[in-house]
Amino acid sequence: MCHLKWALIILAAIAVAGCTKKETPAPAAEETAAVEEEKPAIPAVEPIKPLPNSVNVDMDKVLLGRSLFHDTALSGDGTISCATCHMLDHGGAEPRKTSTGIRGQVGPINSPPVLNAGYNFVQFWDGRAKDLQEQAAGPVENPIEMGAKWGNVVERLKKNAEYVATFAKLYDDGITKDNATDAIAEYEKSLITPSRFDKFLLGDESAITDAEKKGYATFKEAGCTACHTGIIAGGTMFQKMGLVKDYFKDRGTTITDADLGRFNVTKNPADKHFFKVPTLRNVELTSPYLHDGSRATLEETVQVMGKYQLGKDLTDAQINSIVTFLKSLTGELPAHAKPPTQN
């Protein structure tokens, strides 16, 4: 009985101690909210990345490349330059359905924009050039485009004393095809166009309007970022034109070789109608749109993309909202982009 009595006394003491233990009061709901609000916000992972404000280039080569880019001496009849189809005031593209080459020849495809092209994973709609230098070499010898021979172009450039001196300063072997295309590529690499949207991505909430922010949200919600991602909102992959619905059947015109896209390079039937996803940078300026230049306005183009790439009939409100956002991607040319005579 004594043991039982002492056990009951000990248990009673423990119970009293537990009841009288001082508890730390729970914070009020308002205090909890305040603590949570003080936590640093975790930045969202955005599908589009900001363009840099500058890019590392050799400025002497850039200025030489600028001269070559605007020089009709690179064409067979001295009438066409790179800038003929890549107009800087038109977003680095052209205001024509398809390109026009020497002697008025009409090309098969719409010229893609050259601005920010250094961020493309490959060049041309069908990706046949691995980089800007390889791309720069192609149109010069295309009989429908510039219609020249590089050997003749080199000899023509050698008759220009200013070119001779500049090439000699920059390249040990002077004027060659490789050196000319290297300079053009360096110039094109420098043509970056940061926009208000980049400031927004970097944290400046006031850089774009509420309507543009809503448009960006709609752009993401609709699924456009499945393809239009990265620094230039595109240029990172090939995608089939008519992914979920037959675009070419509905277009109703004969399928051309240009419509075959990546197939022209690989000869793989699975690559038919695949194209490099175009950049959306400066897209406000680059009409007409699509590889075939078949759409005159951004509104039409967004509607087509929704239908054939996403399988969605976007409402007019959604389309207009997305277009509002897309216009925030229009940037400014760098100061050196145009030759002094065009500034």
Say how far apart CA 292 and CA 278 lie, in whole Å.
13
Can you list the alpha helix ranges (DSSP code H) found in the chain? 2-20, 29-38, 59-69, 82-85, 132-141, 150-157, 161-170, 177-189, 196-201, 210-222, 247-251, 263-266, 298-305, 316-326
The two tokens of residue 205 are: 């909430």
- Residue 213's identity, in one-letter code, is K
The two tokens of residue 80 are: 């066409």
Say how far apart CA 101 and CA 79 lie, in whole Å.
9
Residues 132 and 177 both lie in one domain: yes
Say how far apart CA 275 and CA 236 lie, in whole Å.
11
Task: Using a pLDDT cut of 90, give the percent of the chain over it.
Answer: 86
Say how far apart CA 240 and CA 242 lie, in whole Å.
6
Residues 206 and 267 both lie in one domain: yes
Q: What are phi and psi of 296, to 5 degrees?
A: -85, -25
The neighbouring-strand residues paired with 240 are: 274
For residue 209, what pLDDT band results from cuts at 50, 70 and 90? very high
Residues 119 and 206 both lie in one domain: no
Quick one: pLDDT at residue 293? 98
User: Does residue 12 lie in a domain region?
Assistant: no
Residues 66 and 176 both lie in one domain: yes
Say how far apart CA 281 and CA 231 lie, in whole Å.
9
Last residue of a domain, one of 192, 227, 258: 192
Last residue of a domain, one of 127, 162, 192: 192
* CATH at residue 266: 1.10.760.10
Q: Are 292 and 109 in contact (CB under 8 A)?
A: yes
Specify the range with the lowest mean pLDDT, choosing from 15-19, 155-159, 326-330, 338-342: 15-19
Using the predicted structure, report yes or no on whether residue 248 has a pLDDT greater than 60.
yes
Using the predicted structure, report yes or no on whether residue 173 has a pLDDT greater than 70.
yes
Active site (catalytic) residues: 145
Domain range enclosing 236: 196-329
Residues 65-73: what's their mean pLDDT? Answer: 98
For residue 44, what pLDDT band results from cuts at 50, 70 and 90? low
Residues 186 and 201 both lie in one domain: no
The two tokens of residue 342 are: 């065009």
User: Does residue 19 lie in a domain region?
Assistant: no
Residues 200 and 169 both lie in one domain: no
Residues 187 and 87 both lie in one domain: yes
Mean pLDDT in the chain?
90
Say how far apart CA 164 and CA 215 lie, in whole Å.
51
User: Does residue 302 lie in a domain region?
Assistant: yes
Crossing angle of the two packed helices 210-222 and 316-326, in degrees rounded to 10? 110
At 30 the three-state DSSP class reads helix
For residue 40, what pLDDT band results from cuts at 50, 70 and 90? very low
Say how far apart CA 273 and CA 239 lie, in whole Å.
8
Quick one: pLDDT at residue 13? 38
For residue 30, what pLDDT band results from cuts at 50, 70 and 90? very low
Residues 6+ apart with CB under 8 A from 259: 241, 248, 273, 291, 292
Last residue of a domain, one of 130, 165, 192: 192
User: Does residue 223 lie in a domain region?
Assistant: yes
Quick one: pLDDT at residue 17? 38
pLDDT digits (tens, 9 = 90+) for 117-149: 999 999 999 999 999 999 999 999 999 999 999
Specify the range with the lowest mean pLDDT, choosing from 29-38, 180-189, 275-284, 312-321: 29-38
pTM: 0.86
Quick one: pLDDT at residue 341? 85
Using the predicted structure, report yes or no on whether residue 7 has a pLDDT greater than 80.
no
Residues 69 and 172 both lie in one domain: yes
Residues 241 and 185 both lie in one domain: no
Residues 30-43: what's their mean pLDDT? Answer: 36
Residue 99: closest CA among 71, 129, 66, 125: 125
User: Does residue 50 lie in a domain region?
Assistant: no
User: Does residue 286 lie in a domain region?
Assistant: yes
Specify the range with the lowest mean pLDDT, choosing from 38-42, 61-65, 194-198, 268-272: 38-42
Quick one: pLDDT at residue 45? 84
More confident residue, 27 or 147: 147
Residues 71-95: what's their mean pLDDT? Answer: 97
User: Does residue 35 lie in a domain region?
Assistant: no
The two tokens of residue 7 are: 């056990």
- Gyration radius (Cα) of the chain, Å: 30
**Total structural domains within the chain:** 2
Residues 131 and 232 both lie in one domain: no
CA 151 from centre of chain? 34
Residues 283 and 267 both lie in one domain: yes
Can you list the alpha helix ranges (DSSP code H) found in 21-124? 29-38, 59-69, 82-85
Residues 157 and 254 both lie in one domain: no
Q: Give 149-185 as a DSSP string.
A: -HHHHHHHHTT-HHHHHHHHHH-TT-S-HHHHHHHHH
User: Does residue 85 lie in a domain region?
Assistant: yes
